[in-house]
Amino acid sequence: MNDKPMSDQISYARVKSDVQSADSYSKRNQRKHEQEMQMIAQAMTMTKGVRTVLDAPCGVGRATIWIAQQGMQVTGIDLGEAALALAGNLLKEKGLQATLASHDIFALPYADKTFDLTLCFRLLHHFESPELRTRLIREICRVSGKYVLMSRISPASVTSLRRRLRQLASGKPIKQYPVSATEMHAEFAAAGFVPAGATGRFALFHSLQLQVYRRK
């Protein structure tokens, strides 16, 4: 992989750089995929005047494809070369247009407020460090002119409690780190954004939630 500015602090183990990993991720449970796209669709109803969207990270293009299908101008970024290649092929198969590029999400090459909206889905929970979460949120907010949609893992869910109990019993590290809505609201407020809503299935039983923020 290419040199990365944050490589001394961040694990890139989940980056889909090889074909097998990317292909496997693209074939995730279809019901789960549909539920997640529904979360994004519901969140988008809480926004208005959105024409340009950044999908960061885009992975194999699951959300990028959906956004393009809505007629929006979408840019998808990821560090996984195989994931980007597969996303490009899937877009082509569906006759859709999108810009795909390899960029480090902690050092985006875009000017302030380049995009009307940024979607950051299924990423924040990979970082245990509050400092890294802060850097991620502030960089995403910097390039977002109107809205940010960012997912989180709820610490109040049964799933998060089970993960914590397994960690205490086995000593193995947690792979998905929960963040409360209150914590996220504070981070976004510092970056100039306020809560505009949230989507997700019943939080007590389903840990993945999608927060919607708008610029003040």
Q: Do the domain assignments include residue 7?
A: no
**Per-residue tokens: 3:** 């040199």
CA distances, 138 to each of 20, 77, 78, 200 (Å): 33, 17, 18, 23
Q: pTM for the complete prediction?
A: 0.84
> Residue 25 falls within a domain, yes or no?
no
**How many other C-beta atoms are found inside a 10 Å radius of the C-beta of residue 124?**
23
CATH number of 98's domain: 3.40.50.150
Q: Is residue 9, in this structure, part of any structural domain at all?
A: no
Strand partners, 119: 55, 149
Taking the C-alpha atoms of residue 105 and residue 149, their distance in angstroms, rounded to an integer, is: 15
Number of domains in the chain: 1
Lookup result for tokens 């963040």? 179
* 120 part of a folded domain: yes
Instruction: Give every strand in the sheet of 115-120, ordered side by side.
Output: 99-101, 73-77, 52-55, 115-120, 144-153, 208-215, 193-199
> What is the chain's pLDDT, residue by residue, as a tens digit (216 residues)?
333 444 334 444 444 445 555 455 556 678 888 999 999 999 999 999 999 999 999 999 999 999 999 999 999 999 999 999 999 999 999 999 999 999 999 999 999 999 999 999 999 999 989 999 999 999 999 999 999 999 999 987 666 556 565 656 676 766 778 999 999 999 999 999 999 999 986 555 568 999 999 999
Range(s) of the domain holding residue 96: 32-215
